[in-house]
Chain A
Amino acid sequence: MGAWLHDSLTWSDAIIIFLWAVVFLFVVLGFVTYAIYFERKVIGWMQLRIGPNRVGPLGMLQTVADIFKLLIKEDTIPRKADRLLFVLAPILCYVPAFTVLAVIPYTEKLYFADLNVGLLYYAALSGISTLAIVLGGWASNNKYALLGGMRSAAQMISYEVPLVISVVGVILLSGSLNLRDIVDAQAGGWFWDWNFLPQIIGFVVFLIAAVSELNRTPFDLPEAESELVAGYHVEYSGFRFAFFMLSEYVYVYAIAALTTVLFLGGWHAPAPFLDFVPGIIWFLLKFAFIVFFLFWIRATFPRIRVDQLMGLGWKVLLPVSLLNVFLTAGYLELFVK
């Protein structure tokens, strides 16, 4: 991808990039479709059920059918809702979810934008989705939606702080915000050169905070489908609702890819003698493992209590992530310089 970006762009180059981005969009949509199918299957197996198996071979078309159903469902907007904001909120939720994917590098050569502030770009844009959730809850003019939106926002901002601080250790070790440089800094041949072992505290905090940012079990209190009405999107129906769900799964993609890049060595092989396998295979394996991990904890963990939720974020994760920053900095000062 990167080769022609060094010269000045012509319109035809821009159109080629645009077409590649469209291809990538369909890859992401395909991922979302089959991630939902895979999630339902995995949780089914873990709970000794079968999971979807009726629509298409092995139930493979179940999600496609679900999406089509949402597409042809009547779209109701409550009379009291703030129409403009109500329509705007799902779009505002989805746009940053897709835009953050521009900076993810997949291999040495396969990436879209090579920003020197890649990680900051990710952290800054992913924060915008919180705004869309508050907006959706407020514009619905519904008590449940408003309280659900407020709760989601409180949870997301509380866990965003440890999330962004936990990666400072990685930045310290690699001395760059560029995601490709961060992966290059983890090269060394063996899997213990990847950041997840030297940065084990940061890695654990990052994983917990990331699951909470995604509003997934055990932190799925905003939705809590078995005990509350839906939360901020209770008034949404049809494809507007689908866009809230879509951005949630696009963030699953984004977080899985980001974890791979930051902590699991990106496209590097776990051992030097495995170097003959192409980097993209390694990237996809690690990526698939993180996605599976998210579904796995959904099937096995109970939901955390609401009064424990904020306590965990502010009283445990934030001090631990700050401690990690100064431990890493101290280590660099004493042993590396």
Chain B
Amino acid sequence: MDNYVNQYVVVAIFILLGILLPAVALTVGRLLRPHKPNDPKRTTYESGNEPVGEGQVRFNIRYYMFALMFVIFDVETVFLYPWAVAYNKLGLFVLVEMFIFAAMLFIGLLYAWKKKVLKWNSV
């Protein structure tokens, strides 16, 4: 049990160190770098033109569709991983079960394919 917890102490140390490096580097940078803000410097970049309208423009719905499909297939992998670990102890029945599960999701992919969700046209 100790061993199990200790491994996560190491992970915690890595997270701590991961936060510490940017914190230290940006603080040191603040002491070294010049700081002379003026108005033109702080405008939004738009190829040298005056920015037009809002920066947070409306974007294509397609990104949402990809995000949705990502969630579906990522959940599938959440099921696949423990299944794969325990596979040698389980029987043929479980293989068939997982095949049915994957096939149903794959039908979903085919449907999206048919509906041209996967086709990319501009933006």
CB-contacts of A46-94 with B (<8 A): 71-81, 90-91, 94
Task: Name the distance in Å between A142's Cβ and chain B's nearest Cβ.
Answer: 5
* A161-B18 contact, Cβ under 8 Å, with A147-B123, A175-B88, A307-B120: no
CB-contacts of A100-156 with B (<8 A): 101-102, 112-116, 119-121, 123, 138, 140-147, 150, 153-154
Contact at B33–A120, with CB atoms within 8 Å? Answer: no
Judge if B111 is at the interface, Cβ distance under 8 Å.
no
A209 and B80 alpha carbons, distance in the complex (Å): 18
Binary contact track B30-46/A, C-beta < 8 Å → 1, others 0? 10111111010111111
* A168-B77 contact, Cβ under 8 Å, with A14-B13, A113-B8: yes
* A120-B21 contact, Cβ under 8 Å, with A72-B33, A322-B106: no
* A91-B22 contact, Cβ under 8 Å, with A6-B2, A98-B14, A333-B92: yes
CB-nearest residue of chain A to B65: A154
A22 and B56 alpha carbons, distance in the complex (Å): 39
A232 and B121 alpha carbons, distance in the complex (Å): 20
A113 and B9 alpha carbons, distance in the complex (Å): 9
How many A-B residue pairs have C-beta atoms within 8 angstroms? Tell me: 222
With beta carbons under 8 angstroms apart, the residue of B13, B30, B44, B59 that contacts A78 is B44
**Chain A neighbourhood of B92, CB < 8 A:** 333
Contact at A114–B7, with CB atoms within 8 Å? Answer: yes
* A157-B66 contact, Cβ under 8 Å, with A146-B57, A307-B121: yes
Contact at A113–B81, with CB atoms within 8 Å? Answer: no
Judge if B84 is at the interface, Cβ distance under 8 Å.
yes
A74 and B21 alpha carbons, distance in the complex (Å): 19
Contact at B56–A138, with CB atoms within 8 Å? Answer: yes
**Chain B neighbourhood of A238, CB < 8 A:** 29, 33
A102 and B15 alpha carbons, distance in the complex (Å): 9
A81 and B42 alpha carbons, distance in the complex (Å): 9
Contact at A318–B26, with CB atoms within 8 Å? Answer: no
**Chain A neighbourhood of B17, CB < 8 A:** 18, 21-22, 25, 98
Contact segment of A189-197, A258-266, A272-280, A308-316: A308-316
Contact at A102–B2, with CB atoms within 8 Å? Answer: no
CB-nearest residue of chain B to A242: B25
CB-nearest residue of chain A to B120: A307
**Chain B neighbourhood of A333, CB < 8 A:** 92, 95
Contact at A79–B42, with CB atoms within 8 Å? Answer: yes
Contact at A161–B70, with CB atoms within 8 Å? Answer: yes
A33 and B60 alpha carbons, distance in the complex (Å): 38
* A79-B21 contact, Cβ under 8 Å, with A21-B14, A71-B29, A333-B95: no
**Chain A neighbourhood of B8, CB < 8 A:** 113, 115
5 A–B pairs (Cβ distance < 8 Å), ordered by A: A6-B2, A74-B36, A78-B42, A80-B44, A175-B87
Q: B: which residues have CB within 8 A of A?
A: 2-4, 6-11, 13-19, 21-23, 25-26, 28-30, 32-37, 39, 41-47, 51, 54-57, 59-60, 62-63, 66-67, 69-70, 73-74, 76-77, 80-81, 84-88, 92, 95, 98-99, 102, 106, 109, 112-113, 118-121, 123
